[in-house]
Chain A
């Protein structure tokens, strides 16, 4: 059973996001980068499959040299090897352009399952897994919370979170599965794991190695473009709702939640 986990390096979710004064991007200097939390579920699941069926787990990660730290995190957890896609041409790509490069890299890898996080917590797109499946001609199931691979490894039964319940699906393998919270509890790498990770193979591939054209990836290969970044409207300081007793305050609260917060 071979799995490939597509991993993205993202700023930690607690990061303070500062936008460049001209709105052309965010300031990345002070950001602490980590593995996308949803991708960790994929790594953990890949390791579980490996423990149960044997085979290998591979990380596929696109990004500049700083992503090596994130790749090592996965290797420390127990992933066997990693492929890093590093080329300036990959930069600035949207989900489509990114998936295109990933798909190309995947053609050179062996897999029965490809895991992607259900979304990356930086761009919050929730697209790459599905597009990847399409480009590779594979089925996909998004938002999985449970995975049982059949003994013949030709299919799997997954629990998938949908509105109002859990859908239990059978999917033919190979397939792309996007992982949701609840699938598992990602392990904490042991220290020997961390040490071993430093010696595990990391295959760095650039545009030429993938045999792709610079026009089909990165910014040039993208179908969407971010034209401007803006800060969200300043969240008003907490409001204490004034009023004479619950008969006044409760309706006010309901109204605010409905009209201002729009959460009801």
Chain B
């Protein structure tokens, strides 16, 4: 067993995911306390050029598994490679991003190694040299501190944006350890037949992370273009209140509310929606709610985390520009 902290560095379309850099930044701090080092595990095909960047953020070593069979993620291939690596090196901590991939892979690996795993953590730390984490339960209505026992390696998946990224030090180069990949194609019990890209297209309302929604205050169908533009910038989906749908400005399938779709995105931006209870019943579980409405008495402000009392036709174009700037910066 080593005091090594491992980070599974997920790469997508030739880019390391930001959450991996966040975890490496945090792991570096932890490793200092622990007196160990930080290793990243990088898998895929032709991902070698990405390895160096991991060092900039604090990875001392990068285990690089570069192979054709790892080009697209499959549970069986990735879990086999990762499990063998962990068995061989016995790191004390393995962190994954709490992404779709990370949440698919980590339980599989943890089970094979009989290791403890905490999902979707918002904080990681050390207690007496052992991993402890904080994670939400009940959709964030409670937080729990978790400790681990009974396994050599403890694991956690960490929620994106939960940990700060430290500035990269481009002088740091990681030691790159190439991993032999021995996978018999028959071991992979799933085959990807097709990938249907929805990027560019909008996610379905019920699955959208961000929803920009318009109501009666939009005044007419033509004005929804303004919301479309805002949504484009945010990668959001456009929804509508019953009033807007009834007026024929948007399709019934776009309706959010009691009799429409029940949604719970991370961010819900309600524009010109007064917030009748039938609408609230369909979106009040959204993590953050923004309301833009010129009527300060509108019930939507009771539910909103942030509100702007103003003419939406003036606010939205400015807001869209601001988001554009932000996106351009990051």
**Segment of B31-39, B166-174, B185-193, B221-229 in the binding face:** B185-193
- Pick from B40-48, B87-95, B212-220, B313-321 the stretch touching chain A: B313-321
Q: How far is the CB of A160 from chain B (nearest CB, A)?
A: 9
Q: Which of B58-81 contact A (CB under 8 A)?
A: 75-76
Task: Describe A's contact surface by its main secondary structure.
Answer: mixed
B305 on the A face (CB < 8 A): yes
Q: Would A258 and B326 be within 8 Å (CB), given that A133-B108, A171-B190, A225-B147 are in contact? A: yes
Is A262 in the interface zone, CB < 8 Å from B? yes
Given the interface contacts A169-B192, A238-B306, does A257 sit within 8 Å of B288 by beta carbon? yes
Q: Please, how many angstroms separate the alpha-carbon atoms of A236 and B304 in the complex?
A: 10
Contact of B151 among A223, A227, A253 (CB under 8 A): A223
Determine which of A16, A19, A141, A227 lies in contact with B147 in the assembled complex, contact meaning CB atoms within 8 Å: A227
Question: How many residue pairs, one in A and one in B, have C-beta atoms under 8 Å apart?
Answer: 237
Return chain A residues, CB-CB under 8 Å to B116.
94, 96, 222-224
A134 to B115, CA, bound (A): 13
Q: A227-B147, A235-B305 are in contact. List 6 more A-B contacts (CB 8 A).
A: A121-B138, A165-B196, A167-B195, A257-B306, A261-B288, A262-B161
Q: Is the interface of B mostly helix, strand, loop or mixed?
A: mixed
Question: Interface-forming stretch among B1-9, B198-206, B242-250, B252-260?
Answer: B198-206
Number of interface residues of A (CB under 8 A): 78
Q: Which stretch in B49-57, B98-106, B175-183 binds the other chain?
A: B98-106
Binding site for B on A (CB under 8 A): 11, 13, 15-17, 19, 26, 94-96, 99, 121-131, 133-135, 139-143, 157, 161-172, 175, 181-182, 222-232, 235-236, 238-241, 245-247, 249-251, 253-254, 256-258, 261-264
Size range of the interface on B? 35 or more
Cβ A249 vs Cβ B308 within 8 A? yes
Distance from B135 Cβ to chain A, minimum over Cβ atoms (Å): 8
- B74 closest partner in A (C-beta): A169
Q: Which A residues touch B315, using CB under 8 A?
A: 246, 249-250
